[in-house]
Chain A
Amino acid sequence: MVMENNISLELCHTDLGYNGRVVLRDVSLTIRTGEIVCLLGPNGVGKTTLFKTILGFIKPLGGVITIDGIDISRFAPKDFARLVAYVPQLHHSPFPYTVRDVVLFGRTVHLPLFASPCKKDRDIADSFLELLDITHLAERAFSELSGGERQMVIIARALTQEARFIILDEPTSNLDYGNQVRIIRKIGELCKQSVGILMATHTPDHAFMIASKVVVVNDGSLFCCGTPETMLTPETLKQIYGVDVQVFDTPDNGICSRKVCAPFFLNPNKN
């Protein structure tokens, strides 16, 4: 992919909500291309509202959201989709499209209204299938894949869209442990594609693994934003989730040393 200028997606003192009811007040947030921002917060604080607003599905109640300085409400749907791609949490199609077709749907935004993908589009789709190591799934029916495989396919679709920002809504929900790690590792590698990533997750460890920045949402306001190490302290985690969590460094074995979270807990059934 051609390296393009770095741009940023910004929310500046924006109020979010729907039907006139404010869910998140006075949100300020910047996501730059090449950066991974992890969004953490308990259930029901408005993470989905934030995503839907950034994606333009609902309008902000106050303030603006800009990309490269331009208000997103001024983009046509097509132009917007060239800037922001979306990886939703649940995706199902009632019809058994092949994986290659599903990934090719990401090219739609680059096609003239009445056109179908050409060889160049198929090559782009194939290159991202390869990047995510899922070329072997290309001819399978998307509807028959496992959850982890589907998630990879939808990420490949978002990359094929060649947007500057990718928004992922809990990409590891419903995945087994191995698939969670694999998906997170792949997402971590994506900033090389010079995309900006905003990812919601319920696992603080994901932030330690890949995030350059952490945004914590709690109690109707986005209360802080900073590096994972400064943000995810036992105190903040207690505040967000209401449970005691220890944060410590993994032993430095020469491969990776980073912080991990462990709930403060004693197995009552163990002698």
Chain B
Amino acid sequence: MKGLSLIVVCLFILAVVTFFSMGIGRYPVSPASLFSWIATGQCTDDNLPVILFNIRLPRLIGAIASGGALAMSGAAYQGMFRNPMVSPDILGVSSGAGFGAALAILLSLPVAGIQILSFGGGITAVLIAVSISKTIGRSHDSVLVLVLSGIIISSLFGALLSMLKYVADPDDKLPAITYWLMGSLANIRMNDLMVILSLLLVGSIPLMLVSWRLNVLSFGEDEARSLGVHTGWMRALVILCATLMSASIISITGIIGWVGLMVPHLARFVAGPNHRMLLPVSFLFGAIFMLLVDNIARSVVSVEIPIGIITALLGAPFFIWFLKKSSRKSW
């Protein structure tokens, strides 16, 4: 399946999944009443519009935005670092954001403060990782050094986070930090979404515009330069945009692993490696995946399961199966 038809099919699946996801939750909403409400604007149950608008819709939009943004930024990272094993997590954005959020919780900052500090932490971590790899990268394999720099920064911020947890009040602050780190779409409000969606636009539009050049960049520094790509600018732009997207999502959802690593592989398998198609298809796949995972999170047991736990529990075996099945074709 090529080009537009694939995008259309993905959009259709996304719409169907979104529709059925609206009916899932603790308050039962049948597809029939949902459909008649959408079609006619009338419904027998007065609670239905309130629940949909105030609770489910922000959450669904949040799931679509977070899954899409994490997958798309993961795909862009993988292309730029020419390494299919790179994900936003590997470059340290998650641990940086986790540290920032924990610091904000410890300082009893309001929700906006938590979001701002985790956003700043995520971006700082990636910038440090990149500058470390630049300093030591001259005489080594650049991809390897980059991954190692990410691991160094992740573990550094991990240690700082542990320190914050150690001094945090165990009755009040520590559970808040721990819960934040597991990731959740439960607390997303419409106001947050407005900010996040505009940040996502700021990040994704430049990525889409340079998507052709991102292909060329995945051939490596020298070749990309000889093909006329200003590699320094392009790298800076991609890191900035992809980090902006993932950090802004993590700042409202907490840490949701795996999506940024796994979904781009799946998308590449279906859409091919050309980033012009890969980036939008990754976004749509990520959105669908996150909606499905969130449905599980809020419906399987009576207490909501943190979504980061499910992405990892489902993601790991699925990824193993997928890599085995696709052999080297998807890389």
Contacts from A to B (Cβ < 8 Å): 52, 55-57, 76-78, 80-82, 84-86, 88, 91, 93-98, 101, 105-106, 108-109, 111, 113-117, 141, 143, 157, 161
Given A95-B218, A101-B274, verify A116-B212 contact (CB < 8 Å): yes
Contact call B228/A78, Cβ cutoff below 8 A: yes
Contact call A94/B331, Cβ cutoff below 8 A: yes
Contact call A82/B228, Cβ cutoff below 8 A: yes
| Complexed CA–CA distance, A251 and B223 (Å) | 42
Q: Does B225 contact A (CB under 8 A)?
A: yes
Contact call B226/A81, Cβ cutoff below 8 A: yes
Given A55-B226, A77-B229, A78-B228, verify A108-B212 contact (CB < 8 Å): yes
Given A93-B82, A101-B215, A108-B216, verify A88-B273 contact (CB < 8 Å): no
CB < 8 Å neighbour of B215 from A85, A105, A109: A105
Contact call A108/B213, Cβ cutoff below 8 A: yes
Q: Does B201 contact A (CB under 8 A)?
A: no
| Chain B residues whose C-beta falls within 8 Å of the C-beta of A88 in the assembled complex | 222-223, 226
Contact call A57/B225, Cβ cutoff below 8 A: yes
B280 to chain A, nearest CB (A): 13
Q: What are 19 A-B contacts with C-beta separation under 8 Å?
A: A56-B225, A57-B222, A57-B225, A77-B225, A77-B229, A78-B228, A80-B228, A81-B226, A85-B226, A86-B223, A91-B223, A94-B218, A95-B82, A96-B273, A108-B212, A108-B216, A114-B209, A114-B210, A143-B331
Q: Does B315 contact A (CB under 8 A)?
A: no
Nearest 10 pairs between A and B by C-beta?
A81-B228, A109-B228, A95-B273, A86-B226, A114-B209, A116-B212, A78-B228, A77-B230, A105-B216, A94-B82
Contact call A81/B276, Cβ cutoff below 8 A: no
Closest to A109 in B: B228
CB contacts under 8 Å to A, within B193-218, are 209-213, 215-216, 218
| Complexed CA–CA distance, A86 and B222 (Å) | 9
| Chain B residues whose C-beta falls within 8 Å of the C-beta of A105 in the assembled complex | 215-216, 219, 227
CB contacts under 8 Å to A, within B61-106, are 79, 82-84
Q: Does B49 contact A (CB under 8 A)?
A: no
Q: Does B268 contact A (CB under 8 A)?
A: yes
Contact call B226/A91, Cβ cutoff below 8 A: no
Contact call A84/B226, Cβ cutoff below 8 A: yes
Q: Does B329 contact A (CB under 8 A)?
A: yes
| Chain B residues whose C-beta falls within 8 Å of the C-beta of A94 in the assembled complex | 82-84, 218, 331
Q: Does B137 contact A (CB under 8 A)?
A: no
Contacts from B to A (Cβ < 8 Å): 79, 82-84, 209-213, 215-216, 218-219, 222-223, 225-230, 268, 272-274, 276, 328-331
| Complexed CA–CA distance, A137 and B223 (Å) | 21
In the complex, besides A105-B216, A116-B211, 18 extra interface pairs with C-beta distance below 8 angstroms are: A55-B226, A57-B225, A77-B225, A78-B230, A81-B226, A81-B228, A88-B222, A91-B219, A93-B273, A94-B83, A96-B331, A97-B273, A98-B272, A101-B215, A105-B215, A105-B219, A108-B227, A114-B209
| Complexed CA–CA distance, A50 and B329 (Å) | 37
| Complexed CA–CA distance, A96 and B211 (Å) | 16
Contact call B227/A106, Cβ cutoff below 8 A: yes
| Chain A residues whose C-beta falls within 8 Å of the C-beta of B225 in the assembled complex | 55-57, 77, 81
Interface residues of chain B: helix, strand, loop or mixed (majority): loop
| Chain B residues whose C-beta falls within 8 Å of the C-beta of A157 in the assembled complex | 227
Given A108-B216, A117-B212, verify A77-B272 contact (CB < 8 Å): no
CB < 8 Å neighbour of B268 from A56, A95, A106: A95
| Chain A residues whose C-beta falls within 8 Å of the C-beta of B216 in the assembled complex | 105, 108
Closest to A86 in B: B226
| Complexed CA–CA distance, A57 and B223 (Å) | 10
| Chain A residues whose C-beta falls within 8 Å of the C-beta of B211 in the assembled complex | 116
Contact call A77/B82, Cβ cutoff below 8 A: no
Contact call A81/B227, Cβ cutoff below 8 A: yes
| Chain A residues whose C-beta falls within 8 Å of the C-beta of B273 in the assembled complex | 93, 95-97
| Chain B residues whose C-beta falls within 8 Å of the C-beta of A115 in the assembled complex | 212
A181 to chain B, nearest CB (A): 26
Contact call B272/A108, Cβ cutoff below 8 A: no
| Chain B residues whose C-beta falls within 8 Å of the C-beta of A97 in the assembled complex | 215, 272-274
| Complexed CA–CA distance, A16 and B205 (Å) | 42
Closest to A157 in B: B227
| Complexed CA–CA distance, A259 and B68 (Å) | 63
| Chain A residues whose C-beta falls within 8 Å of the C-beta of B228 in the assembled complex | 77-78, 80-82, 108-109, 161
Q: Which of B209, B223, B226, B276 has the most CB of A within 10 A?
A: B226
Closest to A102 in B: B219
B205 to chain A, nearest CB (A): 10
CB < 8 Å neighbour of A111 from B212, B268, B331: B212
Contact call A96/B227, Cβ cutoff below 8 A: no
| Complexed CA–CA distance, A143 and B82 (Å) | 14
Contact call B229/A95, Cβ cutoff below 8 A: no
| Chain B residues whose C-beta falls within 8 Å of the C-beta of A55 in the assembled complex | 222, 225-226
Q: Which of A77, A78, A81 has the most CB of B within 10 A?
A: A77
| Chain A residues whose C-beta falls within 8 Å of the C-beta of B79 in the assembled complex | 95
A152 to chain B, nearest CB (A): 16
CB < 8 Å neighbour of A109 from B210, B227, B268, B328: B227
Closest to B138 in A: A19
Closest to B210 in A: A114
| Complexed CA–CA distance, A85 and B224 (Å) | 11
B183 to chain A, nearest CB (A): 29
| Complexed CA–CA distance, A260 and B272 (Å) | 46
| Complexed CA–CA distance, A116 and B83 (Å) | 23
| Complexed CA–CA distance, A78 and B222 (Å) | 13
